[in-house]
C-alpha cells in the first residue's frame, strides 16, 4: 500500500495502472508537498466548528482513506484516470463517509452513555464520541499493520473490487476486535462535560498511546524501511506475522519509554519556558505528550516516505535506513515543539500543559493521506504518459 519511489504507482492493481512522476526532483517535490499540506491543514482547521469536530472528522476521514486504499480508488481510476479528477471524486466520497461516521458517533453516544449510567445527554454524547472515535485508532493500528504487513495475503492477486471487499471485511473484523478489547469498556460513568480528561478511564489513555506507537512503528518499518527488517522472514504470510508481532511489542514498550522520556526530558524543557501547571496536571500533560509525540512522528513518516519518496537513496541500505530514521525523528521532534510556537495563531493557548493538539493532528494526518493517496500528490506529481 505504500506510495514510495520515483515512480509512484500501484503495481499490484492491473485495474489502476496510473503512474505519476514528480514535476521536480527531490527534495524540491517533497518540500512543495509539505508546504501544500500544511497550508491546507491550517485552512481546514480554521473552518468554524472544526476544533470541536476535528478529532472525529479527522479520524474517520483517515479510515475512509484506508477504505480507498484497500479498493485502490476503485472505480474512479478506471472511470476518470486523471489524478485531479480521481482526487476530487474520492475526496467527496471521503468527506461524506467522515460525516456519516460523525453522526453515527453521536447516535452511539446516546445509547452508550445511557448503558453506563450517564443521564445527561450532552455528556453521554461526549463520552460516546471518545469511545466511538477510537475505531479509527483500532483500524489504523492493528488492521493496517496486518493487512499491509501481509500485503493483502492471500488475496494479493485478486482483482478489484473482489480483493477490496475481502480486505475491507477482514479489516473491519480486526478493527472491531481491537476496539471492543481496548476501548469499548472504558467510558467513564462519572464523566463531567467540562473536563474531557474525565470522559474515559485511565486504561483508555494507555491503550490509545499503544495504538499510536503501533502505527508509528508499522509505518516506519513498512514504508520508510520498506519492510526491513521483517522481510528477512522470507515470504508471506510469515513476513506479515513477524511484522505484526514485532510492531505490537515495540508499540507497547514505547508507551513506557516515551513516558519516561516525557518526565525526564520533555517536562524539564517545558518548565524552563512555561509556568508550572497546577498540582497533578504534569502527569496528565505527559500522558498527552506521549500520544501527541507519536502522532507527530507518524506525520513525519508520511512526509519522508510519501512526499520525499524516501530520499536520499544513493547509499547502502543500512546508511539509507539510518538517514531516514534520523530524519523522521528530527522532523517529528521539530513538529512537536514547533506546534506550540504557532499554536496561538490557530486557536490554541500555546501552553503545552493545557493544549491538546490531538484534533489538529488528526486533521493534518487526514490531509496528508488525502493528498498522497487520493490526489496522488497532484499537482506536484503528474501522470506519466
* Residue whose C-alpha is closest to residue 110's, from 22, 203, 213, 187: 187
286 occurs within a structural domain: yes
Summarised one tens digit per residue, pLDDT across range 127-150 is: 999 999 999 999 999 999 999 999
Q: What is the pLDDT of residue 36?
A: 97
Reply yes or no on whether the pLDDT at 382 is more than 90: no
Asked, for residue 113, whether it belongs to a domain, the answer is yes
Asked whether residue 9 is domain-assigned, the answer is: no
Say whether pTM exceeds 0.85: yes
Question: So what's the pLDDT on residue 135?
Answer: 97
Distance in angstroms (rounded) separating the CA atoms of residues 200 and 191: 7
Question: Is residue 137 domain-resident?
Answer: yes
Inside any domain, residue 4: no
- Averaged pLDDT for residues 206-223: 98
> What are the tens digits of pLDDT across the range 95-135?
999 999 999 999 999 999 999 999 999 999 999 999 999 99
Residue 384 pLDDT level (bands cut at 50, 70, 90):
low
Answer yes or no: is 205 within a domain.
yes
Query: Is 27 part of a structural domain of the chain?
Result: yes
What is the pLDDT of the chain when averaged over all its residues? Answer: 92
Per-residue model confidence (pLDDT) at position 385: 55
- Classify residue 307: in a domain, yes or no: yes
For residue 83, give its domain range: 20-375
Q: How does pLDDT run across 274-294, given as a tens digit for each residue? A: 998 888 789 999 999 999 999
Q: Name the percent of the chain lying above pLDDT 90.
A: 83
| CA–CA dist 139, 376 (Å, integer) | 22
| Residues 317-351: tens digit of each pLDDT | 999 999 999 999 999 999 999 999 999 999 999 99
pLDDT the model gives residue 18 = 64
HEC sequence for the chain: CCCCCCCECCCCCCCCCCCEEECCCCCHHHHHHHHHHHHHHHHHHCCCCHHHHHHHHHHHHHHHHHHHHHCCCCCHHHHHCCHHHHHHHHHHHHHHHHHHHHHHHHHHHHHHHHHCCCCCHHHHHHHHHHHHHHHHHHHHHHHHHHHHHCCCCCCCCCCCCHHHHHHHHHHHHHHHHHHHHHCHHHECCCCCCCCHHHCECHHHHHHHHHHHHHHHHHHHHHHHCCCCCHHHHCCCCHHHHHHHHHHHHHHHHHHHHHHHHHHHHHHHHHHHHCCCCCCCHHHHHHHHHHHHHHHHHHHHHHHHHHHCCCCCCCCCHHHHHHHHHHHHHHHHHHHHHHHHHHHHHHCCCCCCCCCCCHHHHHHHHHHHHHHHHHCCCCCCEEECC
User: Using 50, 70 and 90 to split pLDDT, how confident is the model at 359?
Assistant: very high
User: How many structural domains are present in the chain?
Assistant: 1
Look-up of cell digits 520525499: 308
Amino acid at each position: 500500500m505504500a506510495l514510495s519511489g520515483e515512480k509512484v504507482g500501484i503495481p499490484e492493481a492491473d485495474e489502476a495502472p496510473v503512474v505519476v512522476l514528480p514535476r521536480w526532483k527531490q527534495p524540491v517535490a517533497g518540500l512543495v508537498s509539505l508546504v501544500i499540506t500544511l497550508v491546507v491543514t491550517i485552512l481546514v482547521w480554521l473552518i468554524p466548528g472544526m476544533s470541536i469536530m476535528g478529532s472525529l472528522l479527522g479520524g474517520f476521514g483517515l479510515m475512509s482513506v484506508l477504505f480507498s486504499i484497500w479498493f485502490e480508488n476503485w472505480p474512479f481510476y478506471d472511470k476518470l484516470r486523471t489524478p485531479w479528477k480521481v482526487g476530487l471524486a474520492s475526496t467527496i466520497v471521503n468527506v461524506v463517509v467522515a460525516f456519516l461516521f460523525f453522526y453515527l458517533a453521536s447516535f452511539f453516544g446516546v445509547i452508550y452513555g445511557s448503558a453506563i449510567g450517564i443521564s445527561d445527554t450532552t455528556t453521554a454524547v461526549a463520552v460516546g464520541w471518545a469511545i466511538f472515535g477510537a475505531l479509527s485508532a483500532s483500524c489504523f493500528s492493528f488492521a493496517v499493520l496486518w493487512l499491509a504487513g501481509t500485503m493483502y495475503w492471500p488475496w494479493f492477486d485478486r482483482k478489484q473490487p473482489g480483493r477490496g471487499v475481502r480486505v475491507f471485511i477482514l479489516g473491519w473484523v480486526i478493527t472491531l476486535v481491537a476496539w471492543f478489547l481496548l476501548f469499548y469498556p472504558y467510558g467513564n460513568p462519572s464523566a463531567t462535560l467540562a473536563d474531557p480528561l474525565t470522559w474515559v478511564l485511565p486504561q483508555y489513555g494507555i491503550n490509545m498511546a499503544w495504538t499510536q506507537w503501533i502505527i508509528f512503528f508499522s509505518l516506519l518499518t513498512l514504508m520508510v524501511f520498506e519492510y526491513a527488517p521483517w522481510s528477512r522472514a522470507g515470504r508471506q504470510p510469515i513476513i506479515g506475522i513477524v511484522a505484526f508481532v514485532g510492531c505490537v511489542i515495540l508499540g507497547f514498550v514505547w508507551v513506557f519509554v516515551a513516558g519516561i522520556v516525557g518526565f525526564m526530558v520533555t517536562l524539564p524543557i517545558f518548565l524552563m519556558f512555561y509556568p508550572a501547571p497546577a498540582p497533578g496536571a504534569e502527569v496528565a500533560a505527559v500522558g498527552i505528550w506521549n500520544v501527541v509525540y507519536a502522532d507527530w512522528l507518524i506525520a513525519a513518516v508520511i512526509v519522508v516516505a510519501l512526499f520525499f519518496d524516501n530520499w536520499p537513496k544513493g547509499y547502502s541500505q543500512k546508511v539509507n535506513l539510518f538517514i531516514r530514521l534520523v530524519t523522521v525523528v528530527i522532523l517529528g521532534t521539530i513538529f512537536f515543539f514547533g506546534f506550540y510556537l504557532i499554536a496561538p495563531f490557530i486557536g490554541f493557548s500555546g501552553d503545552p500543559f493545557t493544549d491538546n493538539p490531538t484534533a489538529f493532528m488528526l486533521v493534518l494526518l487526514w490531509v496528508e493521506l488525502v493528498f498522497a493517496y487520493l490526489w496522488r500528490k497532484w499537482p506536484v506529481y503528474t501522470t506519466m504518459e
